[in-house]
A = this chain, B = another copy of it.
């Protein structure tokens, strides 16, 4: 990643300390170009807020050894929820994203927002007890959902598999219980953030494709989640693939990628062949078990996904594409199909150094992403300025 500009604001100073780019007040003065007294004053306010601690003496370069500054990941906690179609995972994490307590359960998103969010809030309360922290310690709440979200207000927008959630304010469900800010995003956006920050931080751009019941894509550009003009960027599940004009998608169009290569569509195809497959996990189990129909189907799904990703590579020229989600667990045939088509169809300059890899974070991908979404929100420049100003009065 190109070196990030450091403006010298209190939030940027905190970020430089968090990311290990500065360890002392002198480092910060060098990095920002600010005078030592301004740096000292801003660091002082961060120490007063509890977000930065003095962690002992560094190495002397002659005179008195400088004090080493460190980010205090224990200054608060974050609540992270990864809500899938039928399953949820919840975590309490510290401000560095480390899990302090974890809960998983089956939970049908189509039970609707009242039931689902009440259950989430109750489980969060139990997890806080387990982690030995109070609701007052919660600095932020991050929630990932399996559908498009109006980011500014945390509201799902016409989500195809979340009946009853259209336009519902998810932050409102936590009002009165915690006054921490709530950040809600599409599952693929939180997943790509997790993989980027944890594994691929040096890349300025990244694509993450989730292949589960449906298919979607999260995008990082210039180090940040790219959402597009209406927040629908990455909606690759409804791109048309060739040779399937007889397949009608639930969106009303024909030959959508998801209607053929999604886990739900593949399970239906296997049922038509007399196999027992209810959902994408069953497809994966059959493929991993070596059932030829399933292996072939997953590989063919990989080829169709490859066709769509070849176009994405032409347009986007990423250095890495991460394949994640349930069906990516059946990784060999899926990734083989993807690679086969992408490397054949995309231009040499774009594929020369292109890597197509499986996600590295496993079942924690969603909660890490939800936690990081909240952490980056509450430690943003503007939020830190506000927090410091409040403590200062």
Q: What is the interface of chain A, defined by CB distance below 8 A to chain B?
A: 5-9, 33, 148, 157-158, 203, 205, 217, 219, 221-222, 224, 226-236, 238-240, 242, 251, 253, 307-308, 310-312, 314-319, 344-345, 347-350, 352-354, 381
Of B224, B226, B251, B315, the contact of A236 (CB 8 Å cutoff)? B315
How far, in Å, is A153 (CB) from chain B's closest CB? 15
Task: Note all chain B residues with C-beta closer than 8 A to A236.
Answer: 311, 314-315
Q: A240-B310, A315-B236, A317-B235 are in contact. Are A349 and B148 (CB under 8 A)?
A: yes
Q: Which residues of B contact A350 (CB under 8 A)?
A: 228-230, 232, 235
Cβ-closest 8 pairs across A and B = A228-B317, A7-B7, A229-B319, A233-B317, A232-B349, A232-B350, A232-B317, A239-B311
| Chain B residue nearest in CB terms to A35 | B38
| A8 contact from B7, B231, B310, B319, Cβ within 8 A | B7
**A/B interface sample: 28 pairs, CB < 8 A:** A5-B381, A7-B7, A8-B8, A203-B229, A219-B315, A222-B224, A228-B316, A228-B318, A229-B350, A229-B354, A230-B317, A230-B350, A231-B349, A232-B314, A232-B349, A232-B350, A233-B315, A235-B314, A235-B347, A235-B350, A238-B314, A238-B347, A240-B242, A240-B307, A240-B311, A308-B311, A311-B312, A315-B316
List 18 extra interface pairs beyond A232-B347, A239-B311, A251-B347, CB under 8 A. A5-B381, A148-B349, A217-B315, A229-B319, A229-B350, A230-B317, A230-B350, A232-B317, A232-B350, A233-B315, A238-B314, A238-B347, A239-B310, A239-B315, A240-B307, A240-B310, A253-B344, A311-B312
